[in-house]
Structure 1
C-alpha cells in the first residue's frame, strides 16, 4: 500500500473541497460558526464543511489541532478519546489510530479509525491536516470498537489578513460510521458535533494563552 500516494490524493481532494463553493447547503449556524453539507463523491453519505473564526494566532490554533500522540487534541476534543501513532512514513506523513467515545446518548457506540495523515503548508500561510482511511497490519478491527472509515477529511488553519490574533478554521468531515445506525441519527450528529468542535477549540486556545 502506497501510503504517500494515498495521503497526497486526500490532500488534493481537501484542497478542491476548499476551493469549490458549489452545492453546499447550510445545516447549522451557531454564533460565528456555520456548518454546510453536500453529497459525498467518495461514499454514500455526506461531506460536511465547517467554517469559523477562532480567536487566537494560527500557531496557537494549530498547536491545539495538530494530530499527535500526547497532544492537546485529546484533552479538549470531546469526540477523541485516544490518538495513537502506528507508523511514521515520512516527516510529514504518519499512520494513526483514533478512538472515539460513544455518542448520541449511547446510540453511537465507541469507534476506532485508522488513517494516513499528511501535514501540509500552503503559500497563503495555511497549514492543514489531511487524512483518509487505510489498513495497517498492526491494527486490525478490535473487539469493543466498531471500525469506522474516514474519507478525505481534515482541517485548515488559515491566517486572517490584517487580524493576526484571529484564525479561520475550515473543517471537512465525511465519515462512514459503519454499524447499523439510523440515517437521522447520523445526519443530526455531525452538524451538532462540528459546532461543538469549534466551541471547544476556542476554549482550548484561550486556555493556552492564560
Structure 2
C-alpha cells in the first residue's frame, strides 16, 4: 500500500502535469456558450482528448475554493448535478486527500453511473497568482470496484482559481478535464459528452453562488 510519502510524491507529479496543460496554448475551440468557452487537444496521458473550460464566476478565489473540495471539506456534491457523492476517504495531509466520487448518468443514460477513487491536491502558486485543486484516479486496495458502479478513470485534471484583475469579488476559473468512462462505452460517446458536461458544471456552480447570495 502507498505511504504518505508516496502520495505526496504523486501529488507533486499530478500538480506539475496539470500546470503544464494550463500553460499550453495549442487548444482547439470546441464550444462557446453564455461566456463559457471550452477547448480541447490530444492528451499526453491517454489516447483521448484533454479539455479546457474557462469562465468568470461571481465569487472571490478563497471562498470559491470550497466549491471544489470533497465533503466534509467542501461543497462539491451540493451543487454539481453530475456528482451524486464526493466524500473524503483518507486524510493524507491538510492539502492531500483520497476521495470517492460517484457520478450520475450522462447522455440520457447512455453513460451509466460511474465511480472514481481520486487523489485530490490543493496546490497554491502565490508567485503565479492562483490556487488549484487537482485530481487523478488511483488504485487503492481498501476501495476496490463494486457491483453498483463502473469504475472510471480520471487522468490528471484540475480547477484553477485566479483573482479577477478588475474585480476582487470575482474569480477567473479554468477547468482542465480528462477522463475515461470505461466499461463498454465507446470513447466517442464520452468525448461527445465532455464539452457539454464542462459547461453544465460551470452553470451549476454559478447558479449555486447566485442563489446563496440572495
Same fold (TM over 0.5): yes
Query: Is the CA contact 1:101–1:109 (under 8 Å) kept in the aligned structure 2?
Result: yes
Paired residues for 1:96-135 under 5 Å: 96-123=99-126, 124-135=128-139
- Take 1:140 and 1:84, find their aligned partners in 2: how far apart are those partners? 16
Matched, 1:167 2:171: yes
Show the counterpart of 1:88. 91
Query: Is the CA contact 1:60–1:205 (under 8 Å) kept in the aligned structure 2?
Result: no
Q: Give the Å deviation of 1:115.
A: 1.1
> Higher relative contact order at CA 8 Å, sep ≥6: structure 1 or structure 2?
1
Unmatched tracts of structure 1, length 5 or more: none
Range that drifts further, 82-91 or 139-148: 82-91
Query: Is the CA contact 2:70–2:88 (under 8 Å) kept in the aligned structure 1?
Result: no
Query: Is the CA contact 1:48–1:172 (under 8 Å) kept in the aligned structure 2?
Result: yes
Q: Give the Å deviation of 1:147.
A: 0.3
Matched, 1:60 2:63: yes
Q: Give the Å deviation of 1:70.
A: 6.8
| Counterpart selection for 1:157 from 156, 161, 172 | 161
- Take 1:161 and 1:39, find their aligned partners in 2: how far apart are those partners? 30
| Counterpart selection for 1:178 from 179, 182, 193 | 182
- Take 1:90 and 1:71, find their aligned partners in 2: how far apart are those partners? 16
TM-score (norm: length of structure 1): 0.94
Secondary structure, counterpart of 2:57 in structure 1? strand
Secondary structure, counterpart of 1:10 in structure 2? helix
Q: Aligned Cα RMSD in Å?
A: 1.4
TM-score (norm: length of structure 2): 0.93
Show the counterpart of 1:45. 48
Matched, 1:198 2:202: yes
Query: Is the CA contact 1:153–1:173 (under 8 Å) kept in the aligned structure 2?
Result: yes
Distance 1:110-1:70 versus aligned 2 partners, 3 A rule:
farther
Query: Is the CA contact 2:130–2:163 (under 8 Å) kept in the aligned structure 1?
Result: yes
Unmatched tracts of structure 2, length 5 or more: none
Secondary structure, counterpart of 2:87 in structure 1? strand
Query: Is the CA contact 1:64–1:204 (under 8 Å) kept in the aligned structure 2?
Result: no
Show the counterpart of 1:11. 15
Secondary structure, counterpart of 2:168 in structure 1? strand
